[in-house]
Amino acid sequence: MILNGFASPDAVDAIRGEIEQQHRVRTWYSGADLRVPGEIEAMVSAGIEAFGAIDIVINNAVVRHAAPVESFGSERWDEALAVNLSSAFHTIRLALPAMKARGWGRIINVSSIYGLRAAPNRIGYVTTKTALVGLTRAVALETLGGDITCNAICPGTAETPVHEGTINGMVASGSSRDEAVQRFLAGKQPTGRFISADGVAALMVFLCGPDSGDITGAALPVDGGWNIS
């Protein structure tokens, strides 16, 4: 297993140790900067050399910046395209030949509810997450006929450290936690609760398994009914 992301060495070692202990697999960490295609290529090449092939790709990298279109800086735009969209393209194009040679592969692109509907002041996020769904469909069409699938997952608002900080701020101002969560999610998930990260992970596990071979090119919402509200 190859892990990529930004974290302290101690945090990376802890995550690797937990995965290796629970699942009895060898893990390798790459700190590749996904804004740089050359670093992505080096990461994938090293992974293929170490493991022989990359059977499963999960593209989950993201940057966010909130601003109106006219105030959205060009550097922020270029970064959103590079991290949220182009990194997925590069990873797929580099891993796919070995998948085709082995006759098996699973690609999961983590889009968003904002890949299915728009929102103001999020031009970079909405554009790249929508394009990621298009990338998913195009790759799925190009890999039909073999046991290779490409799907997108479109989560709603999940409980993350950033959102937790906002909720804690509301609680510090006098709201109960339940009230804070309801206010934060107003107009979003009709369920009125955060999306479970474990639920998203369970869907990924299913899509990577043997019973999901007929699901490809799908954009699967995990959004508490937000997309249909």
Catalytic residues: 125
Place of tokens 């999940």: 158
| Residues facing 154 on adjacent strands | 221
Tell me the pairing of strands 2-4 and 147-155.
unpaired
Residue 172 neighbours by CB distance under 10 Å: 9
Encoded tokens for 31: 């700190």
Place of tokens 């670093």: 39
Encoded tokens for 146: 């073999």
d(CA 132, CA 139): 11
Backbone φ/ψ region at 28: left (φ over 0), alpha (ψ -120 to 50), beta: beta
Residue type, 191: T
d(CA 6, CA 4): 7
- Is residue 48 within 8 A of residue 98, CB to CB? The reply is yes
Beta strand ranges found along the chain (DSSP E): 2-4, 28-30, 56-59, 104-110, 147-155, 219-222
